[in-house]
């Protein structure tokens, strides 16, 4: 059975470009992003890992650890990292997992037989501090992922985890958020002292609580 939102993310021990890691221990009490790549030395993935490395500081500010996965081995990872650093002008500091036996890929449902029986699709998982899956995105091999969007979603997820709010379409950090239906308008007015704008009984906005 494939993973679904809210499921516990499978733990694993793996060899990576920074040494052996235990997934849960590596994440600690923080958040995680686990994303897969069809193989090393692929052009789109080279740009993706480069972009992730360029945004490393943004992930760290959010207490998020990033892990990439490929079904190739550590020797290829090392050469590929050199290429990524050179062509994307970055320094890849996050681990790339060597999943040669595809055990992690299979546990996370990263191999879609109708797309490829041997290579992982471009899957991305956001894992919360409770080790539950908070987000799943799957891209085709030809389309590079938008990691600024991944950061935006993490901002929304972390906001929702700490306050009784949701985020509207195209929301960006600093913009108004939506009071969740479980909170009455009367309680919302008490809970959100910056004000509550009632557009409809079910559609109520309030300024971002932590700004």
What is the model's pLDDT at position 71? 87
What per-residue confidence (pLDDT) applies to 117?
Answer: 47
Domain-terminating residue out of 90, 113, 144: 144
- Shared domain for 44 and 94, answered yes or no, is yes
32 in a structural domain: yes
Give 127's strand partners: 32, 133
How confident is the model at residue 119, as a pLDDT? 54
What pLDDT does 211 receive?
Answer: 84
Judge whether 156 lies within some domain. Answer: no
User: What is the structure's pLDDT at 138?
Assistant: 87
Give the pLDDT of residue 112. Answer: 57
Tokens of 190: 């008490």
Beta strands in the chain (DSSP E): 13-16, 19-22, 31-37, 64-70, 96-98, 122-127, 133-139, 165-166, 177-179, 197-200, 203-206
Are residues 190 and 117 located together in one domain of the fold?
no
Residues 39 and 126 in one domain: yes
For residues 128 and 134, the answer to whether their CB atoms sit within 8 Å is yes
Examine the domain organization and report whether 134 and 195 are in the same domain. Answer: no
Q: Helix (H, G, I), strand (E, B), or coil: what is residue 193? A: coil
pLDDT along the chain (211 residues), means of 10: 88 96 97 91 93 97 96 92 97 94 88 53 90 92 89 96 95 96 95 96 96 84
Q: What is the predicted pLDDT for the residue at 143?
A: 86
One domain, residues 134 and 202: no
* Number of separate domains in the chain: 2
Tell me the pTM. 0.90
State the residue range of the domain holding 58.
13-144
The question of whether 45 is a catalytic residue gets the answer yes
Answer whether residue 26 is part of any domain. Answer: yes
Cβ-proximal residues to 70 (8 Å cutoff; 6+ apart), any chain = 36, 37, 38, 39, 40, 45, 76, 77, 96, 97, 98, 99, 120
What CATH number does residue 119 fall under? Answer: 3.40.30.10
Shared domain for 29 and 113, answered yes or no, is yes
The domain that contains 198 carries what CATH number? Answer: 3.30.1020.10
* 3 occurs within a structural domain: no
* Catalytic residue of the set 45, 64, 104, 159: 45
Both 97 and 17 in one domain: the answer is: yes
Alpha-carbon distance 77 to 75, whole Å? 5
- Nearest in space to 59 (alpha carbons), one of 30, 88, 25, 102: 30
Domain end marker among 97, 112, 144: 144
Q: Is 157 a member of any domain?
A: no
């Amino acid at each position: 059975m494939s993973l679904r939102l809210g499921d516990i993310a499978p733990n694993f021990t793996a060899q990576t470009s920074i040494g052996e890691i235990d997934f849960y221990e590596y994440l600690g009490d923080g958040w995680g992003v686990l994303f897969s790549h069809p193989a090393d030395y692929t052009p789109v993935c080279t740009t993706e890992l480069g972009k992730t490395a360029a945004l490393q500081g943004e992930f760290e500010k959010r207490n998020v650890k990033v892990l990439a996965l490929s079904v190739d081995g550590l020797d290829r990872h090392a050469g590929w990292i050199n290429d990524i650093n050179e062509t994307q002008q970055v320094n890849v500091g996050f681990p790339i997992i060597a999943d040669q036996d595809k055990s992690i890929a299979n546990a996370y449902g990263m191999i879609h037989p109708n797309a490829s029986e041997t290579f992982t699709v471009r899957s991305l998982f956001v894992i919360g501090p409770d080790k539950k899956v908070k987000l799943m995105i799957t891209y085709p091999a030809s389309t590079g992922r938008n990691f600024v969007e991944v950061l935006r979603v993490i901002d929304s997820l972390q906001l929702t985890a700490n306050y009784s709010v949701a985020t509207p379409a195209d929301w960006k950090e600093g913009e108004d958020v939506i009071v969740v239906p479980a909170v009455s308008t009367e309680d919302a007015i008490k809970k959100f002292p910056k004000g509550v704008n009632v557009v409809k009984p079910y559609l109520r906005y309030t300024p971002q609580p932590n700004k």
